[in-house]
Amino acid sequence: MAALKPNSFVPVRACLFDMDGLLLNTEDMYTSCNNVILREHNRPDLPWNIKAQLQGRPGPEAGEIFHAWAQLPISRTEYQRRITELQRQHFPSAQPLPGVPELLKTLSESGVHLALATSSHTANYHLKTSRLDSLFKHFPDDQKILGDDPRIPPGKGKPAPDIYLLALETINSRLRKQGKKEIKPQECLVFEDSVPGVEAGRRAGMRVVWCPHPQLLKEYSGREKEVLAGLANGGKDEQVKEVMHEANAGGEGKGRGWPGRRDDGWAELLRSLEGFPYGRYGIRNV
């Protein structure tokens, strides 16, 4: 894929959003809750090289990575009871990150279609958003895809592209009913803070804005271009292996699901969502 200049892209018609650490300050809450348990059992705090592998992934997959590292002297059941208790205490105090309310309001008023694509399961989603109706009203209920959505097959969470393709389908389903033109993946802009999430967006054939936690950005210092291309996992995930196997099986068009290339212009790093550059994506700021 050759590098593309910004003016060679079609205007963005849909924006698809992750939630934790992107819209809300809940990633730090996840870390704090885990650190409470780790300290209770004389284990070190969760380091960012491990945290980076947990972000964006569905709970079961993130849990396997966490427990393999933590080696806690308690059962998974006891851990789950304690982490749920702590999350119920902290998640209801979640707040939007800087620039988020203005961004969602502007996009809604500009006519851009919005969908949510979060790995958070239903119970945690409601804990985090119960006091934020004014923020999440911008997402129609049928365009909110959560981590336990049965339409996402087991093992197909981020970094696989399924959740973003499903989010787009919910928008297109509405457009079809209205007799309007459907939106193509290349007309979508994914907003992500996690490395697996960026890869998921790239493999969905969509443009991506990566807005990471400062500590995550520090962890990937010097590898930013790999992240933006969707290559930072190094092909280690089974989902990536499966896609590559299918792509190499022969036949034109078998490459669907491939990540991108460095400097191909399909992804951008932003340190904050404040002052978002709407014009760069062909979005009219009304």
Tokens for 158?
Answer: 């981020």
User: Is residue 143 scored above 50 in pLDDT?
Assistant: yes
pTM of structure? 0.89
Q: How high is the pLDDT of residue 234?
A: 55
Query: With bands split at pLDDT 50, 70 and 90, how would you rate the model's confidence at 285?
Result: confident
Better-scored residue on pLDDT, 31 or 284: 31
* Mean of pLDDT values over 50-57: 90
Query: With bands split at pLDDT 50, 70 and 90, how would you rate the model's confidence at 57?
Result: confident
Structural element, H or E, at residue 114:
strand 113-117
Q: How high is the pLDDT of residue 244?
A: 35
Dist. CA 179–CA 176, nearest whole Å: 5
Structure confidence by residue, pLDDT tens digits, 215-225: 999 999 999 99
* Mean of pLDDT values over 157-183: 97
Which residues have a catalytic role annotated?
18, 20
Average pLDDT value for the chain: 90
Q: How high is the pLDDT of residue 254?
A: 33
Question: For 200, what's the count of Cα atoms within 13 Å in the CB-facing half-sphere?
Answer: 31
Tokens for 264?
Answer: 């191909």
Q: How high is the pLDDT of residue 236?
A: 47
Backbone φ and ψ of 12, nearest 5°: -75, 130
Q: How high is the pLDDT of residue 257?
A: 73
Query: With bands split at pLDDT 50, 70 and 90, how would you rate the model's confidence at 3?
Result: very low
Q: How high is the pLDDT of residue 112?
A: 98
User: Is residue 256 scored above 70 in pLDDT?
Assistant: no
Dist. CA 32–CA 18, nearest whole Å: 20
Structural element, H or E, at residue 51:
helix 48-54
Query: With bands split at pLDDT 50, 70 and 90, how would you rate the model's confidence at 246?
Result: very low
Share of the chain above pLDDT 70, in %: 89
In three-state secondary structure terms, 166 is helix
Structure confidence by residue, pLDDT tens digits, 193-221: 999 999 999 999 999 999 999 999 999 99
Better-scored residue on pLDDT, 82 or 59: 82
Positive or negative, the Cα torsion across 93, 273, 57, 205?
positive
